[in-house]
Amino acid sequence: MKKKIFVRGPVLSQSGYGEQSRFALRALRSRDDLFDIYIQPINWGKTGWIWEESEFREWMDQRILETQVRIQQKQLLPDMSLQITIPNEFEKICPVNIGYTAGIETSKVAPQWLQKGNEMDKILVVSNHSKDTYVNTVAEAKNQQTGEIFPYRLETPVEVVWENTPLAESTEAIPGFNPQKDFNFLCVSQLGPRKNMQNTIKWFVEEFVDQDVGLIIKTNTSGNSRIDLEYTERTIEAILKPYPNRKCSVSLLHGDLSEGQMRALYEHDKVKAMVNISHGEGFGLPMFEAARLGLPIISVGWSGQVDFLKDKFLKVKHELNPVQNHAVWDGVVERDSQWAYADQGSYKMSLRMMYKKYDEFKDQAETLKSDIDANFNDKVLYKLFVDSILGFDSSMLEPEESLVLEFE
């Protein structure tokens, strides 16, 4: 008998959690002989919603509508829930409840995450960094009746389930995109405290101020609006203001691109390598997408991206230090937590090495591409995900092949 699974998450959002939600749906749908899937979409911050037409989007819309009708008629009685969000939002709503989270980019989680996590039957995370951080965090709790102080930790089992994104079969033109430099680094990231975009840009310019090298920034702050574009432009202009006579270039690609346009960006013959010196990543989807297409990567060797980059990237040295005050988010990012701060000299040296010894690092990237093709493909990851949901090897329940009879 099929399991009725209630999936709550930002399935329509243009965000990391949105991509994670859609990965989960694709994995579950790959075994539609095992699951009846019901979907309740939620918003995710100020991010936009996906707009591409596809068979998958039509299927999601149909399942969302079916779920809403059943909820209104009080006819939805799922066997389990899959809640794709930050743990603050976890709830006991079904006989079995599984939390699926990605936003662990620091050295510890908030006490609320421990408490809400312990209400779940299982927690799935997207990297070993996330798992290690979650299970190793210890909070100080107080018994309200006795006043006793005791260590409080996560008791719920945690499993790592990596994710991926769909790979467009072909490229799609990006209107107005025509890099003027022959050698360009690429950074795909939102503007925000965690992403360290200011130093990504500033240190690049200082290293190549008198050379014809480019940095392409594909970014936004929180949306695709004209206001967001103008704010992003002003932010980058302020970073560049001290370098009016630079020969290097910094160009902006603002807002969302289709899967085909993203592939065109990663495979453009003038885009040579990706850079990312963020303070921490739950998984690092843009780096994953770039590495899957053979683009060399420059990054710090800490947090979620290490799972798929392994040792096949140009590693920037870093130190762990407390998060900035303006990055503290009560109940989510703790004031006494730490994340990675890239070393300026090491980042500049890595940029220079990539530029001077590009062929060497391109060969390394091709090796990484082969590794990702073998270990992070749909077949491998979908089975890993389904096994984690079921709690056993799903190959034991492979669909039986239809019996074909021939008559003379």
Is the alpha carbon torsion for 54, 172, 304, 340 positive or negative?
A: negative
The predicted-structure confidence for 271-325, as pLDDT tens digits, reads as follows 999 999 999 999 999 999 999 999 999 999 999 999 999 999 999 999 999 999 9
Q: H or E stretch including 338? A: strand 338-342
Tell me phi and psi for residue 82, to 5 degrees: -120, 110
- The two counts, helices (H) then strands (E), for the chain are 12, 16
Tell me phi and psi for residue 191, to 5 degrees: -75, 135
Closest C-alpha to 275, from 313, 312, 240:
313
Which pLDDT belongs to residue 400?
55
**Mean pLDDT over all residues of the chain?**
94
3-165+379-397 CATH, one of 3.40.50.11930, 3.40.80.10, 3.40.50.410, 1.10.132.20: 3.40.50.11930
Q: Which residue has the tokens 């420059």?
A: 298
3-165+379-397 and 184-375 have identical folds: yes
Beta strands in 92-239 (DSSP E): 96-101, 122-125, 139-142, 149-152, 158-160, 184-188, 214-219
Could you state, in order of their start, the residue ranges of all structural domains in the chain?
3-165+379-397, 184-375
Which pLDDT belongs to residue 1?
85
Model pTM score? 0.93
The predicted-structure confidence for 138-166, as pLDDT tens digits, reads as follows 999 988 889 899 999 999 999 999 999 99
Measured distance CA(281)–CA(258) in Å, rounded: 22
Topology of domain 184-375, per CATH? Rossmann fold (3.40.50)
Strands 122-125 and 96-101, sheet pairing? parallel
The predicted-structure confidence for 93-149, as pLDDT tens digits, reads as follows 999 999 999 989 999 999 999 999 999 999 999 999 999 999 999 999 988 889 899
The predicted-structure confidence for 23-81, as pLDDT tens digits, reads as follows 999 999 999 999 999 999 998 876 667 777 889 999 999 999 999 999 999 999 999 99
Q: Strand pairing partners for 330?
A: none
Section 198-224 average pLDDT: 92
How is residue 103 annotated by DSSP?
A: -
DSSP symbols for 290-336: HHHTT--EEEES-STTHHHHTT-SEEEPEEEEEPPGGG-BTTTB-TT
Give the number of residues written for the chain: 408
In three-state secondary structure terms, 223 is: coil
- pLDDT above 90 covers a percentage of the chain that reads 86
Burial class (CB in 10 A: 0-12, 13-18, 19+), 383: middle
